[in-house]
Amino acid sequence: MRVGFYAPMKPPNHPSPSGDRAVGQLLIEAMTLAGHQVQVMSEFRSLDISGDAEIQRNFEIKGREEAKRILGEISSNGLVIIDLWFTYHLFHKAPDWLGPEISKTLGIPYVVAEASYAPKQQTGPWHAGLAQVETALRSADGVISLNPRDRHCIQPFLNANVTQSSLLPFTRQLPNRQEERGRLKARLGQHLGIDSRPPWLIAVAMMRKGDKERSFWVLASALVQILDLDWQLILIGSGDAADSVNRAFDPIGEERVHALGMLEPEETQQYLDASDVFVWPAVNEAFGMAMLEAHRHGLPVVAGYTDGTATIVKDQVTGFLTEPENIETFAQAVRHLLENHNLRETMERAAREKFLSDHTLEDAARALDSFLRSLTLS
């Protein structure tokens, strides 16, 4: 099947790394693995974070012009004719101005994946974007939900014949570890000049203002409560809130906190392999690709509960999910894991097993293939 792919929030080849970009890339990879031909149809971004009505109106105009351009190229055979349009991640700040019009004109199925609807924006600064999300949902032939919370809120706008499916977060499997964990940890510890004997906690996230920044502050406040225990913290990530994040950890001290900045993926993989517990408060996380990465490496996770994190972390089996932004319960959960070596080992095995059973690229390829074929056969 020839699939036209579009991501209005961030195109899959955008230079700035993020979980959103990673999911888009993985969706393309999974559909390709299932034997489909996937073509990115446009790099047009409709994302407006300012709430400025004039900016949004300009995006609407540009979006409709882009839809006409694509249709013109298809009619002149400048683009491969597609059998289905697939839009990933649309919401009021990044609506889809392309998919509904192009799908209707070509007479092909229109699929949306990870669509959300926020009713409070009906009278808010993004009401025009929200209205277009409603238009897209009413036009959709197929809907894929990656977050259980989103599935509930979009139901009123779907037509009676829409095909729906849920897709668990997924990623690629890792090659076999090339170096035994203890030896790898000792080597990396020597490189950083830190002790490799105590447990290593690790957090990997962009240091952006807003929810990410808040998560780092919750983490720092929680770790202050367990300074009586022996541990080291590895922080990987960078962004416009880096200075604020660094200040959050000042009370702990640089002898325990090691902020490495943004690393190459291969380096990040090594630190995940060497660490003992992944810690991330996950304030308002949609589904938490970082937690999935941790489980892929066999790391138990302590995270704040959201509908999204709960699709990855099985509470008290592969880690602990704590009350959102509750510093005390987060600290207690980390303490419990640090004080129980056998529990950490048990959760390590469970985390790896859950990843292999529920979250691989191959799992997603099979699910997406079945879903797409059901649309074209109906």
CATH code assigned at 349: 3.40.50.2000
What is the pLDDT at residue 148? 79
What is the pLDDT at residue 294? 96
Question: Is residue 287 scored above 90 in pLDDT?
Answer: no
Cβ–Cβ under 8 Å, residues 168 and 26:
no
Q: Is position 261 within any domain?
A: yes
pLDDT averaged over every residue in the chain: 93
Q: Is position 353 within any domain?
A: yes
List for the chain the helix, strand, coil content (%; round to 5).
Answer: 45, 15, 40
Same domain, 187 and 206: yes
The DSSP secondary-structure symbol of 360 reads B
What would the mean pLDDT of 210-230 be, rounded to a whole number?
Answer: 97
Q: Are strands 142-145 and 232-236 parallel, antiparallel or unpaired?
A: unpaired
Burial state string for 300-317 with b = 16 or more CB within 10 A and e = fewer than 16: bbbbbbbebbbbbbbeee
Question: Which tokens is 204 given?
Answer: 């990997």
In which band, very low, low, confident or very high, does the pLDDT at 376 lie, cut at 50, 70 and 90?
confident
What is the pLDDT at residue 152? 84
pLDDT tens digits, one per residue of 19-68: 889 899 999 999 999 999 999 999 999 999 999 999 999 999 999 999 99
pLDDT tens digits, one per residue of 191-201: 999 999 999 99
CB atoms within 10 A of CB 155: 12
Burial label, 219 (beta-carbon count in 10 A; 0-12, 13-18, 19+) = buried
What is the pLDDT at residue 23? 92
What is the pLDDT at residue 74? 87
What is the pLDDT at residue 139? 97
Q: Percent of the chain having pLDDT more than 90? A: 85
Same domain, 372 and 308: no
Number of domains composing the chain:
2
The pTM assigned to this predicted structure is: 0.86
CB atoms within 10 A of CB 364: 22
Report how far apart, in Å, the C-alpha atoms of 295 and of each of 42, 172, 254, 288, 348 are: 33, 12, 27, 11, 8
Could you list the residue range(s) of the whole structural domain that residue 294 is in? 181-358
Question: Which tokens is 90 given?
Answer: 């649309």
Same domain, 69 and 128: yes
Same domain, 273 and 234: yes
Top pLDDT among 179 and 54 is at 54
What is the pLDDT at residue 149? 79
**Distance from first CA to last CA of the chain, Å, rounded?**
14
Cβ–Cβ under 8 Å, residues 284 and 306:
yes
Q: Which residue intervals of the chain are DSSP H helices? A: 19-33, 53-75, 99-106, 127-139, 148-154, 181-192, 211-224, 242-248, 265-274, 289-296, 327-338, 341-358, 361-377
Question: Is residue 78 scored above 60 in pLDDT?
Answer: no
Same domain, 9 and 68: yes
- How far apart (Å, rounded) are the C-alpha atoms in residues 293 and 269? 9
Report how far apart, in Å, the C-alpha atoms of 251 and of each of 195, 218, 227, 296 are: 20, 13, 10, 32
Q: What angle do CA 168, 173, 177 make, to 5 degrees?
A: 140
Q: Is position 176 within any domain?
A: no
Q: Is position 110 within any domain?
A: yes
Question: Is residue 372 scored above 70 in pLDDT?
Answer: yes
Longest CA–CA span in the chain (Å) reads 70
What is the pLDDT at residue 146? 87
Same domain, 14 and 55: yes
What would the mean pLDDT of 172-178 be, rounded to a whole number?
Answer: 76
- How far apart (Å, rounded) are the C-alpha atoms in residues 233 and 319? 18
Question: Is residue 378 scored above 70 in pLDDT?
Answer: no
Cβ–Cβ under 8 Å, residues 101 and 75:
no
Q: Is position 256 within any domain?
A: yes
Same domain, 190 and 300: yes
Question: Which tokens is 319 given?
Answer: 């880690």
Question: Is residue 177 scored above 80 in pLDDT?
Answer: no
The DSSP secondary-structure symbol of 9 reads S
Q: Is position 286 within any domain?
A: yes
Same domain, 304 and 352: yes
Same domain, 198 and 75: no
pLDDT tens digits, one per residue of 2-24: 999 999 999 999 998 888 898 99
